Structures are given as C-alpha cells and as structure tokens.
Amino acid sequence: MPLTRSLMIRLEDVLAIAWRELRSILGDSGAILFFLVVPFAYPFLYAALYGAEVAREAPLVVVDRSRSELSREFVRRIDASPDVAVVAHATTETEATPYIDRGEAYGVLVIPEDFSRRLMQGRQATVNLHSTFAAALYYKGYSLTATEVALQLGRELEAERNPAASTEATRIQVRPIESEWTSSFNPQGGFQGFLLPGVLVLILQQTLLLGCSMLMGTQRERGTLARPRLHAGGHYLGVLRLMLGRALCYLGLYTMSSLFVLVLAPRLFGLPQLLDLRTYCWLLPPMLLAMIFFALFWALVVQHREKTMILWVFTSIPFLFLTGLSWPLSAIPAPLRALGYLIPSTPGVQAYVAASSMGAQPYDILPQYTTLWVQAIVYFLLATYAYARMLRKAQSH
C-alpha cells in the first residue's frame, strides 16, 4: 500500500474515532453537563460568589475594659474605617459570645484595662483580636484595620510627647522608614481578581476528568470499553489511533470552551487581563493536551459511572492548593510540591495567572510550558499503555 494511502487511512480512522466519541458525548446527559454546560456556567457562578471582591463593614464586637479617652478614640477610628463596623459593645468576652453564635458578628476586640496607662507612659500597649474563620475575609479586614489605626494613633501620641521637636524629627522618630502597602497585580485587593483566574484553568481540567471518567465508567458497565480492537471502516483499529481520535475530539471541544473560559469570561467579569493572543495560542496546546491525556489515563480507574463523583470531585480543593495560588509555594512541603507537578493544573494555573494577571511573556513561563509538554507526552504514553494492557487482558479471557 502506498505511504500516502496508508497515512490517509490512519487519518480517516482518527477522525472516525473523534466523531464516534463526540456522538457518545451527545448521547449522554451527564457528559453533556460536564463537557458543554459546566465550563460555561461555572465562571458565572464563581463571579457571582466573589463578585464583591472585598469584604466591607465586617461586624465586630468590642470589649473595652480600659474605658478611657484613648480606647474610645481607638474604637471610633476602627468603626470609621470602610472595612469594619462595630455592631455592639460588651463588658466581657462571655457577653460578646452570643453575637458570634447568632452570626451577628465574626470578631471580638478586647482592650485591656492598662491600655491607656501604658500608652501615656510611652510603653507598648496590646489589644486582643479574636475572630471566627466562618468568614475568613473578615479576619483580614479586622487585622489590617486594627494595625493601621494602631500605627496612626502611635505616631500622633509620639508627636504629642515631643512638642519641641520638628516635624521631620518626629517623623523619623515615629517611622524611620516610610512604607506603603501595595498589592501587586491586584490593586483593589479583591478575592475575585486573586482567585478566579486560577479556578478557571482548574475548571477545564476537572470537567475533562469527570466527563471522561463518566463516559468510560458507562462503557465498562456495558462491556464496550475493553472490546479487542474497535472495528471501523472495514478494518480494525490500533490503540494509538484510538487515543489520538479521542484526544482530537476533546481538543476540538475544549479549544472552544477555553476561548470562553480563559479569554472572554475574564473580560466579562472585569478581571485583570494582560494575556495577549500570541501567548494564549502558545500556551493552550500543551495545557489542553496534558489535561486531556491526564483525564484519559485516570478515567481508566473508574469501574462504575456513579463512582466518578466519589473519586474525583473532592480533588478540586487539593489541586487548587498545590498550584500555590491560595497557599504560597514556599510554605508547601517539598514532597507536596513535587506531587503538584504531576498534575497539569499546577503548571497550567501558574502559567496562565502569570500571563493574564502579570503580563508575563512566553520566555517568563517557559518552565511551566516545558512541564506541560512533558506531562502531555508522559500521560499519553501511560494512557496508551494502560488501555493496550486492558485490551490484552480482555483478549486473554
């Protein structure tokens, strides 16, 4: 057979398998949900949850044991800030607890009896801030506001104690080094702009993993997944063509999905978007291929359709932590960091966030880009080997 004809037959086989896979998806309501609905619906869901960006007017209960002019001024300034609202005053922590239990407040500020006396003596005074993590963003508002008010009040008291000093001398005494809080690449300090770009990449991987697992679980139940050599066009197909055909189907679907999820959705929700078309087209192929073959390999673990949710839904949170987005990579133990680089979402999230939120160019994300290509090749070989082994076992029986 001429080489050209042989290549054409193989190409037709790959296209036929891709078409067959697409028909399987369209004939399965669960697969339609994961492949065609969730990637378009979830960005809107997360945008609705975190659209407020920052938590304002965090409710706080104050226990002022000092009852002095300075303590009242301290509380007044905290209440005047945009991030905290003092909703009640209590005499003891026990009296403040019911506000927490009823959800009327999420934090308690305790000012000790010696607060004013220590400040007037030029000594350091402390306050105690207790917060429940039922609303973690409120804790950020409490701690930053209390810190800023304390620094400002301290500067003013220092200036009053040295009335003869010049303004510059007072400034140097109170604050030798000027500092300013600047949130890089997230100027509003919002949760949506910080978290959502990484979650968008994770949505692509998890919907692929869940959808492929559901399809293969169904095929296992029906006994069609491990048929020895799938027949098409009058001849038998090899495992390599089978994997390439399935990958082509998902690559076509997710090229369209990723265009919405990674390019259009961030613009709709007003997220920082510095990703240019050249970088997007450069990054997308290895990221999608790594996710596709990762999903095809791990989907072979699923024995029953219903077990898909049990096996994979819980992995979304650990996968997100391993990316270093919600927890610094430097604080993650080395074994877990190594584990993270076995998962396509880790380099995928890092590369996409760097490009979209920080304006990174291709050479800036080359390590993640290379990792994605390595993952794509390794998971392709693993998926092909695992499926071929499954077919050989089926033939032997």
Place of tokens 């409490």: 142
Q: Is the pTM of this model over 0.85?
A: no
**Band of residue 115 on the pLDDT scale cut at 50, 70, 90:** confident
**Residue 295, number of CB atoms within 10 A of its CB:** 26
Q: What percentage of the chain carries pLDDT values higher than 70?
A: 84
The CA distance from 15 to 249, in Å, is: 8
Over residues 279-325, the pLDDT tens digits come to 999 999 999 999 999 999 999 888 888 888 888 888 988 998 999 88
pLDDT at 54: 67
- Lowest-confidence pick of 84-88, 121-125, 317-321: 121-125
Residues 237-290 have pLDDT tens digits of: 778 888 899 999 999 999 999 999 998 988 888 777 888 888 999 999 999 999
Mean pLDDT, rounded, for 150-172: 71
Comparison of pLDDT for 178 and 251, the residue scoring more: 251
Using the 8-state DSSP alphabet, how is residue 67 labeled? Answer: -
More confident residue, 339 or 138: 339
Assess whether pLDDT exceeds 70 at residue 71.
yes
Residue 329 identity (one-letter amino acid): L
Instruction: State residue 379's pLDDT score.
Output: 96
Amino acid at 1: M
First to last CA, the chain: 34
Report residue 207's pLDDT band, with 50, 70 and 90 as the boundaries. very high
Distance, CA of 52 to CA of 261 (rounded, Å): 20
Can you spell out the DSSP letters for 152-192?
HHHHHHHHHH-TTS-HHHHHHHH-SS------TT-TT--HH
Residue 182 confidence class, pLDDT cut points 50, 70, 90:
low
Per the CB < 8 A criterion, the answer to whether 74 and 153 are in contact is yes
pLDDT top residue among 286 and 57: 286
Predicted local confidence at residue 53, as pLDDT: 61
Mention every residue, 6+ apart, whose C-beta is less than 8 A from residue 32.
25, 26
Task: Give pLDDT, residue 204.
Answer: 94
Q: Which domains does the chain have, with CATH numbers?
A: 3-51+190-396 (no CATH), 58-174 (3.40.1710.10)
Q: What mean pLDDT value characterizes the chain?
A: 84
Distance CA 188, CA 204 (A): 27
Structure tokens at 210: 């869940």
Distances (CA, A) of 149 to 136, 139, 269, 333: 21, 15, 33, 36
User: Tokens in use for 23?
Assistant: 């028909």
CA distance 138 to 226: 53
Rounded Cα gap, residues 370 and 121, in angstroms = 61
Predicted local distance difference test score (pLDDT) of residue 285: 95
Kindly indicate the confidence band of residue 380, based on its pLDDT and cuts at 50, 70 and 90. very high
Q: What is the pLDDT of residues 185-194, one digit of tens each?
A: 766 666 677 7
Q: Cβ distance 304 to 218 under 8 Å?
A: no
Given a cut of 80, is residue 111 above it in pLDDT? yes
Q: What is the mean pLDDT of residues 57-80?
A: 88
Tell me how far apart the alpha carbons of residues 78 and 149 are, in angstroms, rounded to a whole number.
Answer: 7
Strand blocks (E) in the chain: 58-64, 84-90, 107-111, 128-131, 231-232, 235-236
Residue position matching structure tokens 């090749």: 377
Residue 388, pLDDT score: 86
What would the mean pLDDT of 380-388 be, rounded to a whole number?
92
Distance CA(204)–CA(289), nearest Å, equals: 11
Looking at residue 35, its pLDDT comes to: 92
**Cα gap 110→96, rounded to integer Å:** 10
